[in-house]
Amino acid sequence: MPPVTDRYPLPVLQDSPRAGSAERPRAWRSLEELQGSLELERAAHREFPPGAAEPPRGLDRRRFLQLAGTTAALAGLAACKKPAEKVMPYTHQPADVKPGLPNTYATAWEPEGYAAGLVVTSWEGRPTKVEGNPDHPASLGATNHVAQALLVDLYDTSRVRGVKLRGTSRSFKEYLQEQTERARRLETNGGEGLWLLLEPSASPTRRELLERIRQRFPRARVETYHALSRDNVHEGARLAYGRPLETRVRYDLARVVLSLDADFLTQGPFSLSEAREFSRSRTPLRGEMSRLYVAESHCSVTGMNADHRFRMKPSEVERFALAVLGELSTTHHLAGLEHYGELKLGWPERASEVRAVAADLARNGARAVVVVGERQPPRVHAVAHLLNETLGSQRRLITLHEPGVEAGRSGPEVLRELAEAASAGRVDTLVVTAFDPAYTAPVGVTLGAALMAVPNTVYLAFREDETSKHSAWVLPAAHVLESWGDTRAVDGTASIIQPLIEPLFHGLTELDVLSPFAGVAEQTPYQLVKAHWQRREGAAGAAFNDTWDQWLAVGTIPGTQSSGVTPTLDTKALDTSLQAFAPKSAQGLELNLLPGYKVRDGRYFHNAWLQEMPDPLTMLSWSNAALLSPRTAERLSLKARDKVKLTLRGRELEAPVYVLPGHADDTVSLELGWGREWDESPEPPVELGVNAYLLRHADAPWFAEGLQVEKVEGRGSYATSQDHWAMEGREIALQDTLEDFEKKKPEYLKHLKGPEAALYEPFKYDKPNQWAMAVDLNRCIGCGACVVACQAENNIPVVGREQVERGREMYWLRVDRYFEGSPDEPRMIPQPMMCQHCEAAPCEYVCPVNATVHSDEGLNEMVYNRCIGTRYCSNNCPYKVRRFNYLDYRGTVTELEKLGFNPDVTVRMRGVMEKCTYCVQRIERARIEARKERRPIDTEALESACEQVCPTEAITFGSLHERDSEVAQRHGDPRHYAVLHELGTKPRTAYLARIKNPNPELEHG
């Protein structure tokens, strides 16, 4: 095979100030850009992406310009119109609700079973913004992209409405009567024939109800199911310690981390707090900086942030883990590992990597940790426990906790047993609260047909889906913001889930569904939860009510956090398992199934915010694709958007090809949760993505050998924004090594700082607040939470798949993803990019109507009433961060969906320019409060939406006048630089260069 440099030549761009420099490789965003695609080269000469300036389908250009001109001319008048809707005042205004003033409430939700604390903003009783609870140990004030998009599901018009029995509307009272009567009949035979298939949950109240059900029906089957099961985590701990356990790692104290297929920065019950701790260990100025090794097949967010990333098939991760164990045993002779040298666990092809990793782990001892992802088999998890025990990090960096969820099986095997029992007529009543098991069932499990054989099926559904089609009773599920409940974090911290709004469609909680079988059908979830905690507290009356109110206000229950357990390693069981290991020959293609980054197991498929959000690595929107490495694609004669047929064990699936740099060779990755119809638009329903569950087998739920790939006729379709707004060859996202940074520190990036020659007078800093932002690329992990947070805060519309393909996405903040180096082993750099609020803003000079102006506090402002849609400002913006409202994206918004709008931000109409405002509405609200209290603005408490949501504190906002503020400190950091500094725009947003800490033993061969 020819060398990489021959296959992918690096074109030298003449307009780059450092073009051809050997000091730092040029960053690139796609293989097409790296290869010098003629199509992209032509697109670079246009001001906007191809198709962005074209009229919509079915509308000629003349008519489009007529409509756009009319819209622009009337924009100012329309924005001033008096609302036509009739409004009514409160008859009796609630004491805690004041029109125009938001309230915030603490609550929690359970992403995959464990708690994460939330603080939700509500305007006159309607939730509009979700934030993290700073007092909750699992969130620390941050949230992820999914939590930010919870509001879309809340106000979704496609939710199940009302109780139904085989498609006919019924009342909840009728449901209770029938289930109560059936429960009495089942009680006579101990519950034989009763099955409960539940969502994993750490709810103490639910656990109490299940204990009552088990006592009442001792022969009933109570099972939990989740398509993204944590069974391997629990079974690995059982192998190592004899019982299932959860692991909590202190990444801020670690100096070396070996991640074995673990995307711990975005996946897992403590990912938010662990991401923040990890980012705090990556500050170059602290004197020491952690090092991260990642062994994985696909490109994960954690892998994107690794100092060294080892590409390998998913099945080879286990061999790599055992090779590291063997090296620590034979070379470093760690106490307790001596006898593992006899097993000959080496891997000759990876010898240099294994030696370097093992030596680094041994050097750092108790400050080194090995973590494993949920997809890897139990033996890999057990090996990690063994290594951490031997290194000493099990006592210093790791806390082990008893699982708060049901620790039995919750994977595909549960569905197989249920289908067999139902088909054989052994199931009389089935209660399902797990997400759509008929859709997520593995190959060979025809659960839909099995459900039809059950006389009494009860399904708690959020939307109509595959399971609801085959169920007798379909109950409307309440949204988490409509629910009463309770939950626990991994460390035991308990929280009360309180509703923010009355159930919009008479939704029910899991406690409502289970209560008839527990014999407490007459009690509401609120009564059940409060009574449970009152019994635990042993308090009564007014004293407990005061305590209860305090819990609701804070969002956590004090004294519930556990200190963990200290189990003893079961070395005999480990030895037996390791002796049975036999490395397989790595031949043929391997299928690699992934949790959907945005849709998870498919439950968020109908969430438009998540659909449109670009994937952090592929930048795909509204679809998934078959991911291949450049070498594998070349060997199979495949290119991007080719359509292929994937065949595994006789099952077939067609998917479009996406060639992803850094992907493992001979591996095809597919995200789960896709391949369903999107019918929430006037257009005919379309299927988005491909359903990877059609290739998933119960005995190989995550990866399987023997995959066959065949090219078929036709072209695949997907929308990706990776080539939108490319900045040809310039120094945009910068990355260096720690060694180089230390050498250059006094003069580091000097050419991207300081004053530049200008034709205009310099900006005057004569006001007390000078707003600015700083983005630390060393902390940014590229998760995209800030993108969805900005969308929620600023009422940014979703434009749809076709418009994204045309480059018309409306995001005010985007996260660009760059590569450096070869396509096979690239280094990746994520970079948030928003309006830079330039002091010498090019957009302001060209606006003919003064719609974009500069404030005396340094903000580049947009006056929507003045904007006539010339787009001159967007043409002149070198950062390409201004968005034009081409179409009336609000035309299809329902009255229900409008409840989610933030009233502090204007809902823009068609024909105006939009962009980041540094959340000026938050600044003005803080200014109003400060004036009322006759004090200066509290700039430390003032946060932009992107800053507030960021789990790693990568984004900082504040005033430069306060020299001790975090934003001022970052503007003075040696790593800071201005993007496109040579243009003299003087941006108020500073970037801090990304610093990697590579191992010299690997870096230099």
Which tokens in the block code for residue 968?
């001022």
The answer to whether residues 272 and 951 touch, using CB atoms and an 8 Å cutoff, is yes
Which tokens in the block code for residue 304?
């994107």
Q: In 3-state terms, the chain is what percent helix, strand and coil (to 5)?
A: 30, 20, 50
Q: In the prediction, which pLDDT does 921 show?
A: 96
DSSP bridge pairs for 828: 819
Four-residue CA torsion sign, 152, 154, 155, 156: positive
DSSP 8-class letter at 567: P
CA 247 – CA 394 distance, rounded (Å): 10
Residue 552 has pLDDT above 60, yes or no: yes
* Helices 172-187, 510-518: inter-axial angle, 10-degree rounding: 40
Which tokens in the block code for residue 701?
């739920």
CA 35 – CA 634 distance, rounded (Å): 14
User: Which parts of 549-630 are beta strand (E)?
Assistant: 589-594, 620-621, 626-628
Query: Exposed e or buried b for every residue in 435-453, given b needs 16+ CB within 10 A?
Result: bbbbbbbbbebebbebbeb
Query: Which amino acid appears at position 65 of this protein?
Result: L
CA 866 – CA 847 distance, rounded (Å): 10
The answer to whether residues 797 and 612 touch, using CB atoms and an 8 Å cutoff, is no
Give me the CATH code for the 587-720 domain, please: 2.40.40.20
CATH superfamily to which 246-401 belongs: Dimethylsulfoxide Reductase, domain 2 (3.40.228.10)
Q: In the prediction, which pLDDT does 292 show?
A: 97
Which tokens in the block code for residue 73?
């001319």
pTM score, two decimals?
Answer: 0.92
Q: In the prediction, which pLDDT does 19 show?
A: 35
3-state secondary structure of 8: coil
Longest CA span, the chain = 91
Residue labelled with tokens 């409840």: 899
Q: How confident is the model at residue 82 (pLDDT cuts 50, 70, 90)?
A: very low
CA 612 – CA 608 distance, rounded (Å): 6
CA 1000 – CA 313 distance, rounded (Å): 25
pLDDT in tens, 899-927: 999 999 988 888 899 999 999 999 999 99
Share of the chain above pLDDT 90, in %: 75
Q: In the prediction, which pLDDT does 84 show?
A: 39
Q: In the prediction, which pLDDT does 360 show?
A: 97
- Three-state SS string across 17-57, please? CCCCCCCCCCCECCHHHHCCCHHHHHHHCCCCCCCCCCCCC
- Three-state SS string across 239-253, please? HHHCCCCEEEECCCC
pLDDT in tens, 591-633: 999 999 999 999 999 999 999 999 999 999 999 999 999 999 9
Domain positions in the chain are 4-55+723-727+772-1000, 163-229+407-554, 246-401, 587-720
- Based on its alpha-carbon atoms, the radius of gyration of the chain, rounded to whole angstroms, reads 29
- Give which of 874, 853, 749 is closest to 52, Cα–Cα: 874
Q: How confident is the model at residue 66 (pLDDT cuts 50, 70, 90)?
A: very low
Phi, psi (rounded to 5 degrees) for 971 = -65, -20
Which tokens in the block code for residue 222?
């109570």
How many CB atoms are closer than 10 A to CB 899?
18
| 469-496: average pLDDT | 96
DSSP 901-936: S-TTS----TT-EE---SSHHHHHHHHHHHHHHTS-
DSSP 323-361: HHHHHHHHTS--TT-GGGGGG----GGGHHHHHHHHHHH
Q: In the prediction, which pLDDT does 814 show?
A: 95
Q: In the prediction, which pLDDT does 762 show?
A: 79
Q: In the prediction, which pLDDT does 40 show?
A: 56
DSSP 626-683: EEE-HHHHHHTT--TTEEEEEEETTEEEEEEEEE-TTPPTTEEEEESS--EEE--SSS
| 239-267: average pLDDT | 96
DSSP element (H, E) containing 195: strand 194-198
DSSP 880-906: ---EE--S-TTTT--HHHHTTS-TTS-
DSSP bridge pairs for 643: 656, 712
Same CATH fold assignment for domains 4-55+723-727+772-1000 and 246-401:
no
3-state secondary structure of 820: strand
Where does residue 921 fall: left (phi above 0), alpha (psi -120 to 50 degrees), or beta otherwise? Answer: alpha
Number of residues assigned to the chain: 1005
Residue 20 has pLDDT above 70, yes or no: no
Q: In the prediction, which pLDDT does 76 show?
A: 36
- Residue 892, CB half-sphere, CA atoms under 13 Å: how many? 13
Burial of 229: CB neighbours in 10 Å, binned 0-12, 13-18, 19+ = buried
Q: In the prediction, which pLDDT does 538 show?
A: 81
* Helices 525-537, 510-518: inter-axial angle, 10-degree rounding: 70
Q: In the prediction, which pLDDT does 708 show?
A: 97
CATH architecture of 4-55+723-727+772-1000: 2-Layer Sandwich (3.30)
Q: What are the counts of helices (DSSP H) followed by strands (DSSP E) for the chain?
A: 35, 40
DSSP element (H, E) containing 773: strand 771-776
Q: In the prediction, which pLDDT does 406 show?
A: 80
pLDDT in tens, 806-818: 888 999 999 999 9
User: Which parts of 53-183 are beta strand (E)?
Assistant: 103-109, 116-123, 126-132, 163-165, 168-170
pLDDT in tens, 275-318: 999 999 998 887 689 999 999 999 999 999 999 999 999 999 99
Q: How confident is the model at residue 51 (pLDDT cuts 50, 70, 90)?
A: low
- Rounded to an integer, what is the distance from CA 528 to the centroid of its chain? 32
Which tokens in the block code for residue 754?
């300081």
Using DSSP bridges, classify how beta strands 651-659 and 642-648 pair: parallel, antiparallel or unpaired.
antiparallel
Q: How confident is the model at residue 22 (pLDDT cuts 50, 70, 90)?
A: very low
Q: Which region among 505-514, 659-668, 763-772, 926-935 has the lowest average model confidence (pLDDT)?
A: 763-772
Find the distance separating the first CA and the last CA of the chain, reported in whole Å. 21
CATH architecture of 163-229+407-554: 3-Layer(aba) Sandwich (3.40)
CA 70 – CA 222 distance, rounded (Å): 63
DSSP 8-class letter at 534: H
| 694-722: average pLDDT | 92
Where does residue 259 fall: left (phi above 0), alpha (psi -120 to 50 degrees), or beta otherwise? Answer: beta
Q: In the prediction, which pLDDT does 83 show?
A: 36
| 824-845: average pLDDT | 94
List of residues 6+ apart from 979 with CB closer than 8 A: 731, 732, 833, 836, 879, 987, 989, 991
Query: Which amino acid appears at position 407 of this protein?
Result: A
The answer to whether residues 399 and 246 touch, using CB atoms and an 8 Å cutoff, is no
pLDDT in tens, 327-365: 999 999 888 888 888 788 889 999 999 999 999 999 999
Using DSSP bridges, classify how beta strands 194-198 and 860-862 pair: parallel, antiparallel or unpaired.
unpaired
Which tokens in the block code for residue 241?
């310690």
Residue 18 has pLDDT above 60, yes or no: no
Q: In the prediction, which pLDDT does 685 show?
A: 78
Which tokens in the block code for residue 367?
């400050």
Q: In the prediction, which pLDDT does 746 show?
A: 82
| 737-747: average pLDDT | 89
pLDDT in tens, 383-413: 999 999 999 999 899 999 999 988 678 989 9
* Helices 378-391, 351-364: inter-axial angle, 10-degree rounding: 40
The answer to whether residues 383 and 330 touch, using CB atoms and an 8 Å cutoff, is no
CA 599 – CA 146 distance, rounded (Å): 8
| 692-712: average pLDDT | 95
**Average pLDDT score over the chain:** 89
Q: Which region among 374-383, 450-459, 541-550, 939-948 has the lowest average model confidence (pLDDT)?
A: 541-550
CA 804 – CA 204 distance, rounded (Å): 44
Q: How confident is the model at residue 92 (pLDDT cuts 50, 70, 90)?
A: low
Residue 80 has pLDDT above 70, yes or no: no
| 976-992: average pLDDT | 95
